[in-house]
Amino acid sequence: MIEILMVDDHAIFRSGLRRLLSDEPDMRIVAEAGNGREALERLRNRPFGVVLLDVSMAGGSGLDTLRRIHAEWPSQPVVMLSMYPEEQYAAIALDAGANGYVSKDRDAAQLIDAIRIAASGGFHLPAGLRPGHRPAVPHAAHARLTEREWQILRLIVAGVSLTEIGRRLCLSVKTVSTYRSRLLGKLAIVSNAELVRYCIEHGIDD
């Protein structure tokens, strides 16, 4: 039996995934956490067959949590779940210690396969990506962006104002402006128009 720790800040999503996996005879969710801190607490009490970890959570980055898990429990299998495209985040998650990366818009069968593969110590990755190999996209400057900077980048490119971004992410406008300045600096550009052009040139879209 593969015993799973589910880490996601949306209770409805956790409930739906718990029902989905209950149909599988060889796996079950035995513990849940709503953020990275709770996930680490669960892991300090006991190991799990697989940790399902959301990339984007309120109150902390899933990638940061992944790095902490990998540092404290190097052999703990982790499968990352995300709404972000695989070609932009999978290699980064792998480098941080994940055994797999599955976009939330994929078929449930892919997630189930990823769990079984990770539990056996293997790697479930998008086509064309293998352990130790990174595709061209993650070598670009945007591979250095944090999860929060990615969120703000996408909203800016979508035409959302800094004030509205702050409202959606529960951040002050000043904080959003600081993140914007950091991501522009990392990409060596100076304006929103250049940011849009950068995303087009690098195939960054939703």
Q: Which CATH number fits the domain that encloses residue 75? A: 3.40.50.2300
> How many domains in the chain?
2
**Residue 139 is encoded by which pair of tokens?**
């070598």
- The percentage of residues in the chain with a pLDDT greater than 90, rounded to a whole number, is 34
**What's the CATH code of the domain at 192?**
1.10.10.10
Q: Which residue has the tokens 């956490």?
A: 33
Q: Which of 124, 182, 174 is nearest to 153 (CA)?
A: 182
Q: What is the pLDDT of residues 178-187, one digit of tens each?
A: 888 888 888 8
The amino acid present at 31, given as its one-letter code, is A
Of 56, 85, 119, which residue is a domain's last?
A: 119
- What's the pLDDT tens digit per position in 5-25? 999 988 888 899 999 998 899
Indicate if 6 and 67 belong to the same structural domain.
yes
User: 97 and 185: one domain?
Assistant: no
Q: Are residues 65 and 152 in the same domain?
A: no
- 10 with 102, same domain: the answer is yes
Banded pLDDT at 91 (limits 50, 70, 90): confident
**Is 17 a member of any domain?**
yes
What order do you get walking across the sheet with 50-54 strand by strand?
27-33, 2-7, 50-54, 78-82, 100-103
The residue with tokens 């035409």 is 159
What's the mean per-residue pLDDT of the chain? 84
User: In sequence order, what are the beta bridge partners of 189?
Assistant: none
User: Could you tell me the two tokens for 166?
Assistant: 């702050």
**pLDDT value of position 133:** 46
pLDDT by residue (tens digit) across 162-201? 999 999 999 999 999 988 888 888 887 878 888 888 887 7
User: Do 28 and 109 belong together in one domain?
Assistant: yes
124 domain-assigned: no
For residue 184, give its domain range. 140-201
What does the pLDDT read at residue 139? Answer: 46
pTM here?
0.64
pLDDT at 69 over 50: yes
Beta bridge partners of 54: 81
